[in-house]
Amino acid sequence: MASSKKIVSIVDDETDITKLFQYAISASIHGVSVITFNDPIMALEHFTDNKKKYSLVISDLRMPNLNGLELLKKVKQLKPSVRTILISAYEVDEDQVFQDYMKQGIINLFVKKPIGLPELCQEVANQVQGYQST
C-alpha cells in the first residue's frame, strides 16, 4: 500500500457484502486503499495501529462481539477527524443510542440497506472528500 493513499475500511460480518463493496469502491474511487474486515475486533485493532492513514470507516450495525455503533464510537475516540458511515437493513430511527451518536457526530452518515453500488460509491466519495477538506 502506498503511504499516500488513505484507507477506507469496510466492516461487515457478511463476506459477500465486504467483497462487493470493496470491488465497487476500488473501481470508482482513486487514491484510496480499500480494506475489509469480517470481524469488528480485528477491524478496531487495525484501525488502532494505522489510524493516521484512515479517512473512512464503513460499518454494518449488527455484528457479533462488537456492534457497529460501538465500533464507530471507539474509532472516533481514537481519531475524531475520521469519517464514519453506519449501514443497516434494520430500522434505527427509534434507537436512542443511534440518535445520540448522530447528534454527536460519531456517525457522519447512515445508509439503509439495500443500497445501490453507484449510490454507495457517491456517498463514500463525498465522505472521503469531506475528510480531506478538514
CATH of the domain at 109: 3.40.50.2300
Percentages of the chain per state (helix, strand, coil), in multiples of 5: 50, 20, 30
Q: Which residues span the domain enclosing 104?
A: 6-132
Q: Does residue 44 carry a pLDDT above 50?
A: yes
126: cell is 463525498
Residue closest to 72 by CA, chosen among 98, 106, 49: 106
Question: Is 78 a member of any domain?
Answer: yes
pLDDT at 2: 41
Question: Is 122 a member of any domain?
Answer: yes
Q: pLDDT tens across 17-40, in order?
A: 999 999 999 999 999 999 999 999
The model's pTM is 0.95
Q: Is 23 strand, coil or helix?
A: helix
**Which H or E run includes 55?**
strand 54-60
Question: Is 10 a member of any domain?
Answer: yes
Question: Is 65 a member of any domain?
Answer: yes
Question: Is 116 a member of any domain?
Answer: yes
Bridge partners (DSSP) listed for residue 34: 8
pLDDT at 134: 79
Question: Is 1 a member of any domain?
Answer: no
Question: Is 81 a member of any domain?
Answer: yes
Q: Which residues have CB under 8 Å from 36's CB, separation 6+?
A: 9, 10, 11, 12, 18, 19, 21, 22
Question: Is 104 a member of any domain?
Answer: yes
- Number of domains within the chain: 1
Q: What is the mean pLDDT of the chain?
A: 95
Average pLDDT on 107-114 reads: 96
Please, are residues 97 and 79 in contact by the beta-carbon 8 Å criterion? no
Is residue 3 very low, low, confident or very high in pLDDT (cuts 50, 70, 90)? low
